[in-house]
Chains A and B, each alone.
Chain A
Amino acid sequence: MTDPVVSVNDLRITFPTLEGRLTAVDGVSFEVPAGGAVGIVGESGSGKSATSLALMGLHRGTNAEVTGDITVTGTNINTASDHRVRDMRGNDIAMVFQDPMSSLHPQYTIGNQLIEAFKVHRPGSSVADARKRAVESLDRVGIPNAAQRINSYPHEFSGGMRQRALIAMGLMCEPTVLLADEITTALDVTVQAQILDLLDDLRSDLGMSLILVSHDLAVVAGSVDEVLVMQTGSIVERGDVRDVLSSPEHPYTKTLLAAVPRVDVSRAQRRAQVREERRQPISEEQGEQAKRAQRARRRADAEGDARLGGAAAKPEKSEADAPLLSVRNARMRFKVRGGLLGGASDFYAVDDVSFDLYQGETLGIVGESGSGKSTLSRMVTRLLNPTSGQIVFEGRDITRLPERKLRPLRRDIQMIFQNPYSSLNPRVTIGDSIGAGLRVQGENDTKQIQRKVQELLERVGLEASHYNRFPHAFSGGQRQRIAIARALILRPKLVICDEPVSALDVSTQDQVLRLLDELQDDFDLTYIFVAHDLAVVRQVSDRVAVMRKGEVVELDHSDTVYESPRHDYTRELLTAAPVLDPVEARKHRAQRAELRRQSTAA
């Protein structure tokens, strides 16, 4: 066996903080064989990104302290001179970062940035050579018309294309190792699948080694041979990807796996599972939060509030009832500013959408970015005024209701957004933030407000004592709980969740989804759940609408949509969705390749 191209031995990275040194990576060792692919999986704070930066020597010049051995293609990164490390970067080991918008310099053309990466390691080469190389590289990552697009600026590329351009940049010098850090996180499923396929192809074509860093087990499942699971700076489990995913040993790996939303698990299954768990006595593993939540729920039940009660006994929705919400032929038109002439053309963000939504039901709306799903949800809440069509809520046509008359309706329809931090005023305590809704609706008794808010805080798994804290004191998951509490304080009938969990780690995501589920039971809520993640949508939705370019291409019971999709686009999405089973993942990849071949042949 040849020497590994990357070998890491007892890597430790510490950062100074106000509370002393924080150990981000604690004794990590691994090897990557030549041509091999290793996945590093972990949630935020696991130390996976710090590890990958260390491989590039990118902690130099910061106040991070790195100890241990890192050998990349025979050079010890920790002891080599700055100059030597610079020579290796991009040449021997190239890194592709996540968030391709901010990782490309906005003021230089793609070509410029690619050529630069080449010229710095091949000082003798001519600009023409470098340019040719850049075109080849872009071509290889699947940028159409590479020779022209090379002169484009990053903002003229879509997210997927930018990610490809970054990969192309990494490939400029044909590095021995490619280090990909969360490169698909911000991308739509179909694009994500394409990028992962691309990496796989490159690996086999160029014989590169690949280190794939991600929080998503499903992403690495189909792309690597070996997987490392990291938790708080240490590797808790490692092994062949098939073994780890099929029979995880470490409890953390197990929870992680359990938390991953499965596109192949139906809502009914999941609900059954959740209810089952709720009926069981609270185990230690479920922790304090769950206990508090259960206590709060019991208290609410005891008070006998009609809307709170009857949770477990909630009947399945009956289609015979009048729908809570009914949307008919809704269209939303935006003017798009044209070129220099300043002319505007019309663009329909939502085009002729109709659906009904019944009390207690969850409608999932799934689609990729630009599909119009967020616009639709804003129309329903009348944050946007529909261009045409009709929106009927509880039998009332609210499409053209003036703002004044809408106000009582606002308490019945609430929204939860993707980024709870930016929607919380950083200068207002969360208690006041949540209580503001009550005040707006005319509640003046401060004590009463406080009591209600604190009850609700406990109900969503926070503590009553959090009332006087400010948003920055909370983690992402907690903030989302705050946002949920704020939405629920007015006891709405309909809650619209717009990508409520897409910014969260899988385990947190799972907790929030469970919470939403429980609350639906307890409060008899009706949800519209907007997301791009097919698996998440499946788990929470009774029915699913698939949107593309402003239109609903398919709307049916979620199991029907997922198990026997009628529309091509739905099928495309489903094959693109990452699956946990490596074997299944490879199968999907082969299917995708087949689809591509067919379409190019056609």
Chain B
Amino acid sequence: MIRYILRRLAAGVVLLLVVTMVVFAIFFLVPRLAGIDSDGLAARYVGKSPSPEAIAAVKERLNLDEPITVQYGEFVSGLVMGTEYDSGTDVIHCDAPCFGYSFKTNTEVWPQLVDRLPVTGSLAIGAAVIWVVAGVSIGVLSALRRGSLLDRAAMITALAGVSLPIFFTGLVSLALLSYYWPIFPPGGSYTGITENPLAWAHALVLPWVTLAFLYAAMYARLTRAGMLDTMGEDFIRTARAKGLPERTVVTKHGLRAALTPIITIFGLDFGLMLGGAVLTESTFSLPGLGKFAVDAIRGNDLPVVLGVTMLTAAFVVVCNLIVDVLYAWVDPRVRVGA
């Protein structure tokens, strides 16, 4: 098992390198293919009316005239060994893992990512708890009472949940529950959990619910379908034939089998979300990774984009690994040949 995990981690590292290469290529090759020279690129990272001197200086500082391989090599070496930056007055050491220095804000990327992680983490974990609990229980109830009023209502709501975009549900919930009836604080009111856990939870209720609504809807549908399949399985009949109470049949035998595939999806969803729930963060003005990434992309801030991308990819890799290990634990059949 440990070998397996190590092998998967190694594959994850390779994947991360590939991801950086792709992002790098997009940011460096695409503008060049579009005919923008290094002066044009440098001009993106200076003020509104740059002097030629400023452009030349930036070009040199960012190595924009170097071939892409050299630039990429420097990025990777910074990642592994750390690197140094000239702030003008001082040389700043950026310890490994150094994701570089934001072109726009002249700040180290890594601490900024770390700063934003708790926000996205709070959002993702809270929402995940809600959506898993709500989605799965609704899905199970729907499946067990298939065709009932509850089932139909739940599935219509779920369809709405899947189809309504977050910025719509988010803004509506803000308008109603924050402005019209000021029950919850408005957007942008994030407080760290360590500062004030109550305020933290209070401010996150709307984002959690909004985000969870979408996923709960998806998971309810998935769970329902899974439960319907599972409850028709022969082993359910066996369980009933044993004389097990229906509750045990549903929870122990039905749910476990139905939930197993959902774990995989959950791992992916959750990993991706740790990399930033872009729409939710934007709608509620939460200073998380997703919003950070979007702003960085808009500002052509390559180091930041690379940082967030790598972090997201790392989360997905790790979550996937956890899920696979978990999967082997949950479903013994997978252990064969692992």
Q: Using CB atoms and an 8 Å cutoff, list the residues of chain A in contact with chain B.
A: 56, 58, 61, 86-91, 94-95, 97, 99, 102-107, 109, 116-117, 120-121, 153, 155-156, 166, 169, 337, 340
Q: A116: which B residues are within 8 A, CB to CB?
A: 242, 244, 252
The residue of chain B having its C-beta at the shortest distance from the C-beta of A105 within the complex is B235
Q: B237: which A residues are within 8 A, CB to CB?
A: 58, 97, 103
Q: A337: which B residues are within 8 A, CB to CB?
A: 337
| Known interface pairs A105-B257, A106-B331, A340-B4; A120-B243 also in contact (CB < 8 Å) | yes
C-alpha spacing A332/B246, complex, angstroms:
49
C-alpha spacing A502/B245, complex, angstroms:
37
Q: A109: which B residues are within 8 A, CB to CB?
A: 332
Q: A120: which B residues are within 8 A, CB to CB?
A: 242-245, 248
Judged by a CB distance under 8 angstroms, whether B26 is at the interface is no
Q: A87: which B residues are within 8 A, CB to CB?
A: 243
Distance in angstroms from B234 CB to nearest chain A CB is 4
Please state if A88 and B235 are interface contacts (CB–CB under 8 Å): no
Please state if B242 and A169 are interface contacts (CB–CB under 8 Å): yes
| Highest count of chain A CB atoms <10 Å: which of B239, B242, B245, B260 | B242
Using A105-B238, A117-B242 as known contacts, list a sample of 8 further A-B pairs with CB atoms less than 8 Å apart, ordered by residue number in A.
Answer: A58-B241, A87-B243, A89-B240, A105-B253, A116-B242, A117-B243, A155-B333, A340-B338
Judged by a CB distance under 8 angstroms, whether B256 is at the interface is yes
The residue of chain A having its C-beta at the shortest distance from the C-beta of B337 within the complex is A337
| Known interface pairs A107-B256, A166-B238; A155-B336 also in contact (CB < 8 Å) | yes
Please state if B241 and A97 are interface contacts (CB–CB under 8 Å): yes
* CB < 8 Å neighbour of B332 from A88, A89, A102, A155: A155
The residue of chain B having its C-beta at the shortest distance from the C-beta of A98 within the complex is B234
Judged by a CB distance under 8 angstroms, whether B177 is at the interface is no
Q: A107: which B residues are within 8 A, CB to CB?
A: 256-257, 260, 330-333
Judged by a CB distance under 8 angstroms, whether B295 is at the interface is no
| Known interface pairs A97-B237, A107-B260, A340-B4; A86-B245 also in contact (CB < 8 Å) | yes
Ordered nearest first, which 10 A-B pairs have the shortest CB separation?
A89-B243, A102-B234, A153-B332, A90-B243, A103-B234, A105-B235, A117-B242, A90-B242, A95-B241, A86-B243
Judged by a CB distance under 8 angstroms, whether B66 is at the interface is no
Judged by a CB distance under 8 angstroms, whether B298 is at the interface is no
One digit per residue, 1 when the CB lies within 8 angstroms of any chain A CB and 0 when it does not, for chain B 218-236 equals: 0000000000000001110
C-alpha spacing A512/B258, complex, angstroms:
40
Please state if A104 and B238 are interface contacts (CB–CB under 8 Å): yes
Q: B332: which A residues are within 8 A, CB to CB?
A: 106-107, 109, 153, 155-156
Please state if B235 and A56 are interface contacts (CB–CB under 8 Å): no
Q: List 5 A-B contacts (CB under 8 A).
A: A56-B240, A103-B238, A107-B260, A169-B238, A340-B4
C-alpha spacing A290/B286, complex, angstroms:
77
Query: Which B residues between 251 and 273 are near A, CB-CB below 8 angstroms?
Result: 252-253, 256-257, 260
| Highest count of chain B CB atoms <10 Å: which of A61, A106, A107 | A107
Q: A61: which B residues are within 8 A, CB to CB?
A: 246
C-alpha spacing A169/B243, complex, angstroms:
12
| Known interface pairs A86-B244, A337-B337; A105-B331 also in contact (CB < 8 Å) | no
Please state if B234 and A106 are interface contacts (CB–CB under 8 Å): no
Q: A156: which B residues are within 8 A, CB to CB?
A: 332
Q: B243: which A residues are within 8 A, CB to CB?
A: 86-91, 117, 120-121
C-alpha spacing A119/B323, complex, angstroms:
32
Q: A104: which B residues are within 8 A, CB to CB?
A: 235, 238
Judged by a CB distance under 8 angstroms, whether B48 is at the interface is no
Please state if B244 and A102 are interface contacts (CB–CB under 8 Å): no
The residue of chain A having its C-beta at the shortest distance from the C-beta of B330 within the complex is A107
| Known interface pairs A105-B257, A155-B336; A58-B235 also in contact (CB < 8 Å) | no
| Known interface pairs A107-B257, A337-B337, A340-B4; A89-B241 also in contact (CB < 8 Å) | yes
Please state if A94 and B241 are interface contacts (CB–CB under 8 Å): yes
Q: B246: which A residues are within 8 A, CB to CB?
A: 61
Please state if B233 and A102 are interface contacts (CB–CB under 8 Å): yes
Q: A102: which B residues are within 8 A, CB to CB?
A: 233-235
Please state if A153 and B244 are interface contacts (CB–CB under 8 Å): no
C-alpha spacing A61/B331, complex, angstroms:
29
C-alpha spacing A237/B118, complex, angstroms:
75
* CB < 8 Å neighbour of A58 from B240, B248, B331, B333: B240
C-alpha spacing A169/B239, complex, angstroms:
10
C-alpha spacing A58/B233, complex, angstroms:
14
C-alpha spacing A340/B4, complex, angstroms:
8
One digit per residue, 1 when the CB lies within 8 angstroms of any chain A CB and 0 when it does not, for chain B 1-22 equals: 1011000000000000000000
The residue of chain A having its C-beta at the shortest distance from the C-beta of B257 within the complex is A107
Q: B245: which A residues are within 8 A, CB to CB?
A: 86, 120
C-alpha spacing A109/B235, complex, angstroms:
13
C-alpha spacing A94/B234, complex, angstroms:
15
* CB < 8 Å neighbour of B235 from A103, A153, A340: A103
The residue of chain A having its C-beta at the shortest distance from the C-beta of B241 within the complex is A95
C-alpha spacing A102/B236, complex, angstroms:
9
Q: A99: which B residues are within 8 A, CB to CB?
A: 234
Q: A121: which B residues are within 8 A, CB to CB?
A: 243
C-alpha spacing A519/B54, complex, angstroms:
90
The residue of chain B having its C-beta at the shortest distance from the C-beta of A85 within the complex is B243
Q: B238: which A residues are within 8 A, CB to CB?
A: 97, 103-105, 166, 169
The residue of chain A having its C-beta at the shortest distance from the C-beta of B239 within the complex is A105
Q: A91: which B residues are within 8 A, CB to CB?
A: 243
Distance in angstroms from A347 CB to nearest chain B CB is 14
The residue of chain A having its C-beta at the shortest distance from the C-beta of B238 within the complex is A103
Q: B239: which A residues are within 8 A, CB to CB?
A: 105
| Known interface pairs A106-B257, A340-B3; A97-B331 also in contact (CB < 8 Å) | no
The residue of chain A having its C-beta at the shortest distance from the C-beta of B253 within the complex is A105
C-alpha spacing A117/B249, complex, angstroms:
12
Q: A166: which B residues are within 8 A, CB to CB?
A: 238
C-alpha spacing A86/B240, complex, angstroms:
8
C-alpha spacing A158/B259, complex, angstroms:
26
Q: B257: which A residues are within 8 A, CB to CB?
A: 105-107
| Known interface pairs A120-B243, A340-B3; A97-B333 also in contact (CB < 8 Å) | no
Q: B234: which A residues are within 8 A, CB to CB?
A: 97, 99, 102-103
Q: A103: which B residues are within 8 A, CB to CB?
A: 234-235, 237-238
* CB < 8 Å neighbour of B242 from A89, A155, A340: A89
Q: A97: which B residues are within 8 A, CB to CB?
A: 234, 237-238, 241
The residue of chain B having its C-beta at the shortest distance from the C-beta of A173 within the complex is B243
C-alpha spacing A106/B332, complex, angstroms:
8
C-alpha spacing A56/B248, complex, angstroms:
18
C-alpha spacing A599/B306, complex, angstroms:
70
Q: B256: which A residues are within 8 A, CB to CB?
A: 105, 107
The residue of chain B having its C-beta at the shortest distance from the C-beta of A89 within the complex is B243
Distance in angstroms from B294 CB to nearest chain A CB is 41
The residue of chain B having its C-beta at the shortest distance from the C-beta of A106 within the complex is B333
The residue of chain A having its C-beta at the shortest distance from the C-beta of B338 within the complex is A340
C-alpha spacing A117/B244, complex, angstroms:
7
C-alpha spacing A87/B3, complex, angstroms:
47
Q: B241: which A residues are within 8 A, CB to CB?
A: 56, 58, 89-90, 94-95, 97
C-alpha spacing A141/B206, complex, angstroms:
59
Q: B337: which A residues are within 8 A, CB to CB?
A: 337
Distance in angstroms from A73 CB to nearest chain B CB is 14
The residue of chain A having its C-beta at the shortest distance from the C-beta of B332 within the complex is A153
Distance in angstroms from B16 CB to nearest chain A CB is 24
Q: B235: which A residues are within 8 A, CB to CB?
A: 102-106
The residue of chain A having its C-beta at the shortest distance from the C-beta of B256 within the complex is A107
Query: Which B residues between 133 and 168 are near A, CB-CB below 8 angstroms?
Result: none
